[in-house]
Amino acid sequence: MRNSPRDLILAPDWLIDGDGSLLPAGSAVRLKGTKIEAVGSLSALDPDSADVQQLKGQSLMPGLIDCHGYLSVDPNRPDPMGGMHGEDLVERAWITARHLAINLASGVTTMRVMGEGHGLDYQARQAVNIGLLQGPSLVCSGAPVCPSHSHQAARSGGADGVDGVRKAVRKRVAEGADWLKLVVTGGVNAPGERATTCLYDDEEVSVALREAKTAGLPVAVAAHGGVAIAMCARLGARTFEHCAFFDEDAIETAASHDATLVFTLARFFRPDGIELSGRDVPGVRARLDRAREHLRAAVPKALSCGVSVVLGTDNMHGLLADDARLFVELGATPKTAIAALTGKAVRALGLEHITGNLRPSLQADLVAFSGNPLTNIVTLSRPTAVYFAGTLAKTNILIP
């Protein structure tokens, strides 16, 4: 008769909760199967009845939450968004598997996928759930709902007119999407000056949000700024993505409607982000420089007015720690940045009953780092161990 596996106690030098707070010295976490069983002082966790792993010189915190990511989109291709609709599904599946492994190795245990054509994200979600692929838990939105002239539309076209939008939203509901992604402006790295121009009229935007609300599907609005923000917030949009040209009015409008801003900072500020992928697209560099200037003002404003802020890598796979570093450089404290990657992120995604905090009965998604990120946020780029649902993940891959 086989003995039941013993519980595991993880005892780091620094234990950090999902609100970014440091727990008392000597605190530890006891894992039982896939769940957190208890959190407290090591002596109070009955260490004699469990395997104890001392994490000397390391911090331990909830697994990181990437609130805006992709699977088959590479950042260094001339048309990165076109990758999500590629017809070569075998190639996209291999790219997806690689990106999932990179993200998990970087400490990301949950990721909201913000667009994949042909149902690839749904299939990847199922593959992770049954253990066929190793990677973070996936929160899926399917293909973006956008008009045919959007930079995120498939070659076959997008959702046009009121009836087209209505059908597209209902299709996402039927497919089993966790979120609806509604693209209402152009992109910074796309041709043309439409980064703040609404691509849909008021009636099209209204029907999308009404249909989603009726179905109980939360809406993520991809918008860099402009007149559509107020209407989307008023109609119940839960998150706004990128926000590169959000002004003070847009930030305060989002705050007044309890919406969350999802900044994707590494994509804008790293030289291997938009600067690289859009290098041959006319107007992109000038638009990117303006976006950087706006973000340098928008992030401190968002922090000062109290709007909820979380972070996402976009297609900069494995670099969520860099988003946190940039967030701090733009005015956030390390504590605020850690909360944006954990506790605030799960609240924004509606997953606080599953993960993102150190609470008994929550899934044991945890990550250890060499050093203390509360004193040096760059520590988040040095994960030493990732626990996904209580199991130590195999992360012996190269992180970019």
Mean pLDDT of 214-242: 96
Ordered alpha helix ranges (H), 55-149 = 89-105, 120-129
State which of 300, 318, 336 marks the end of a domain. Answer: 318
Cα separation values, 130 from 29, 113, 124, Å: 26, 18, 10
Asked if residue 250 and residue 221 are part of one domain, the reply reads: yes
Is residue 2 predicted with pLDDT exceeding 60? no
Residue range 298-329, pLDDT digits in tens: 999 999 999 999 999 999 999 999 999 999 99
305 and 198 in a single domain? The answer is yes
Under 8 Å between Cβ of 19 and 343: yes
Residue in this structure with the two tokens 């924004």, named with its chain if needed:
348
Q: Are residues 56 and 170 in the same domain?
A: no
pLDDT over 70 at 80, yes or no: no
Would you place residue 77 in the very low, low, confident or very high pLDDT band (cuts 50, 70, 90)?
low
Question: Cβ(43)–Cβ(18) under 8 Å?
Answer: no
> Does residue 98 share a domain with residue 212?
yes
Please, which residues have CB within 8 angstroms of residue 91's CB and are 6 or more apart in sequence? Answer: none
User: Residue for token digits 């989002």?
Assistant: 254
The domain of 298 spans 64-318
By CB neighbour count within 10 A (0-12 exposed, 13-18 middle, 19+ buried), where does 25 fall? exposed
From 292, 318, 344, the end of a domain falls on: 318
Q: Is the pLDDT of residue 263 over 50?
A: yes
Last residue of one domain, picked from the residues 318, 349, 371 = 318
**Secondary structure (3-state) at 302:** helix
Tell me the C-alpha to C-alpha distance, in Å, between residue 287 and each of 6, 26, 373: 56, 50, 33
Report the percentage of the chain scoring pLDDT > 70: 96
In a domain, residue 227? The reply is yes
Within a domain: 235: yes
pLDDT for 398: 46
Domain count, the chain: 2
Residue 363 pairs in a beta bridge with 35
Tens digits of residue pLDDT in 194-205: 889 999 999 999
Rounded CA separation 400/394 (Å): 17
Assign residue 290 the CATH number of its domain.
3.20.20.140
Q: Assess whether 13 and 24 both reside in one domain.
A: yes
How far apart CA 66 and CA 313 sit, in angstroms, is: 7
Residue 334 lies in a domain: no
- Indicate whether 274 and 375 sit together in one domain: no
Confirm whether 151 is domain-assigned: yes
> Does residue 327 fall inside a structural domain?
no
**Among candidates 371, 368, 398, 392, which has minimal Cα distance to 63?**
368
How confident is the model at residue 399, as a pLDDT?
44
The string of pLDDT tens digits covering residues 279-305 is 888 899 999 999 999 999 999 999 999
Q: Which residue has the higher pLDDT, 400 or 227?
A: 227
Alpha helices in 106-215 (DSSP H): 120-129, 161-175, 202-215
Beta carbons within 10 angstroms of residue 395's beta carbon: 19
Residue 39 has pLDDT above 80, yes or no: yes
Q: For residue range 143-155, what is the model confidence (pLDDT) as tens digits? A: 999 999 998 999 9
Q: What is the pLDDT of residues 128-143, one digit of tens each?
A: 999 999 999 999 999 9
User: What's residue 78's pLDDT?
Assistant: 60
Question: What is the per-residue pLDDT for 278?
Answer: 84
* 109 has pLDDT over 90: yes
Question: CA–CA separation, 31 vs 346, rounded Å?
Answer: 20
End-to-end Cα separation, the chain, in angstroms: 45
Residues 313 and 203 in one domain: yes
Q: Is 351 among the domain residues?
A: no
- How confident is residue 76, by pLDDT bands cut at 50, 70 and 90? low
**Maximum alpha-carbon separation in the chain:** 69
In terms of domains, do 46 and 79 share one? Answer: no
Residue 369 has pLDDT above 50, yes or no: yes
- Measure the CA angle with vertex 56, ends 53 and 62; round to 5°: 70
Q: What is the pLDDT of the chain when averaged over all its residues? A: 94
| Per-residue confidence (pLDDT) for residue 190, from 0 to 100 | 79
* φ and ψ of 199, to 5 deg: -85, -15
284, 210: one domain: yes
Question: What CATH number should be reported for the domain holding residue 36?
Answer: 2.30.40.10
Residues 28 and 58 grouped into a single domain? yes
Tell me what pLDDT residue 177 has.
98
Domain identity same for 24 and 100: no
Q: Determine the average pLDDT of the residues in 343-368.
A: 98
pLDDT tens column, 236-245: 999 999 999 9
Task: Clarify whether residues 221 and 130 are in a common domain.
Answer: yes
Contact 85, 43 (CB under 8 A): no
Specify the pairing of strand 308-311 against strand 108-113. unpaired
- Give residue 189's pLDDT band: very low, low, confident or very high (50, 70, 90): confident
**pLDDT grade, residue 383 (50/70/90)?**
very high
Q: Are 300 and 329 in contact (CB under 8 A)?
A: no
3: pLDDT strictly greater than 90: no
Round to whole Å and give the CA distance between 120 and 86.
10
Residue 88, domain member (yes or no): yes
Query: Can you read off the two tokens belonging to residue 237?
Result: 């949009």
Q: Which two tokens stand for residue 175?
A: 């497919």
* pLDDT level of residue 1 (50, 70, 90 thresholds): very low
Q: Is residue 398 part of a domain?
A: no
